[in-house]
Amino acid sequence: MATIVKVLLCSTLLFCTSGLSAQTITSTKLKDGDNKEVDLKTYASNGKITVLCFWATWCAPCKTELKTIAEDFYADWQNLYDV
């Protein structure tokens, strides 16, 4: 009986949250990889999912993440997302 209640509860939560949308991004100016200033609100409103990676040159895990994105995902993602 407890399993049925858990399944129904999870199903209800999943159904209720499926219609929620993500938060909208605020107008924030940053520099991109080419050192050009971009407004994130304009950049993220092109109809594609936008992937943002914030990192520092001294952060070894950050460098690993960027290398992984560049090598493993960029070719597959570039038509679907803004990376």
pLDDT band with cut points at 50, 70 and 90 for residue 81: low
The whole-number pLDDT of residue 37 equals: 86
**CA 73 to each of CA 1, 5, 30, 49, 52: distance values in angstroms, whole numbers, following the listed order:** 44, 40, 23, 14, 14
The residue whose two tokens read 């993220």 is 44
The whole-number pLDDT of residue 19 equals: 60
Q: What is the pLDDT of residues 9-68, one digit of tens each?
A: 666 666 666 566 666 777 778 887 788 888 877 766 677 777 777 778 888 888 888 888
